[in-house]
Chains A and B, each alone.
Chain A
Amino acid sequence: NAGVTQTPKFQVLKTGQSMTLQCAQDMNHNSMYWYRQDPGMGLRLIYYSASEGTTDKGEVPNGYNVSRLNKREFSLRLESAAPSQTSVYFCASSQRGLAGTDTQYFGPGTRLTVL
């Protein structure tokens, strides 16, 4: 099992450009998440998908859109990149088991710089 994979690993954009970050998991998990990580702020949830066909906003959704393409894949799109979106982006997935015992499994991250 590859677990959670993300592409690309690194990306540099100019202000106003668009791009899509890809995420896939091979663990047959129901739920998938997108986070951004900024120094001193931990990880903040951008969007999540509790199950195939559903998506919901997290703590910091402005400037982003997501697509749950199928059970395996969950993409994050920046329509018009801004320097404030310079960050490390992590995708995660979880089974959505019982009693809140879900463990989220994280991908290796995408380091994005917006100039």
Chain B
Amino acid sequence: AQSVTQLGSHVSVSEGALVLLRCNYSSSVPPYLFWYVQYPNQGLQLLLKYTSAATLVKGINGFEAEFKKSETSFHLTKPSAHMSDAAEYFCAVSDGPNAGNMLTFGGGTRLMVKP
């Protein structure tokens, strides 16, 4: 069984500061990992995904994440927060296409950006 843990249900940063959202996973198969963002009253949008190619993955809006197998982590970072980054962020792990491409989500981290 696979699972995802996101440390910190709420993270607050100042505008211009580093954003770090933590995600740890467990999976019995090589994982495929995703970060999604949800803006208020909207559906989820894909930020980036790791599919066993480069361990440092760049996504939209200046976000990136690094896959660290030894730490079973896939933390999301952005060098400089912008007010428009305020949203809820979800880390997810997939069991891959041969098992139905099921996504298991973490509980989410709400990012608040202070002026």
Contact = CB atoms under 8 A, between A and B. Distances in A.
Interface of A: 4, 31, 33, 40-45, 48, 50, 56, 58, 90, 92, 94, 96-109
Chain A contact residues: over half helix, strand or loop, or mixed?
loop
16 contacts: A42-B90, A42-B92, A42-B105, A43-B44, A44-B105, A45-B102, A45-B103, A48-B100, A94-B101, A97-B97, A98-B97, A100-B51, A101-B32, A101-B49, A106-B45, A109-B43
Given A100-B94, A100-B97, A103-B46, A42 B51 contact: no
Contacts, number: 69
Contacts of A106: 36, 43-45
Given A42-B107, A44-B105, A58-B102, A102 B42 contact: no
B9 interface: yes
B5 to A, nearest CB: 10
How many B residues touch the partner, as a band? 20 to 34
A23 to B, nearest CB: 11
Nearest to A45: B102
B94 A102 contact: yes
Contact of B108 (A40, A48, A94): A40
A115 B52 CA distance: 46
A90 B103 CA distance: 13
Contacts of A33: 103
B37 to A, nearest CB: 11
B88 to A, nearest CB: 10
B97 A102 contact: yes
A115 B83 CA distance: 36
B102 A48 contact: yes
A56 B100 contact: yes
Interface string B93-115: 01011001111111110000000
A35 B49 CA distance: 20
Among B42, B43, B49, B97, the most chain A Cβ lie within 10 Å of the Cβ of B43
B102 A41 contact: no
Contacts of B45: 106
A108 B43 contact: yes
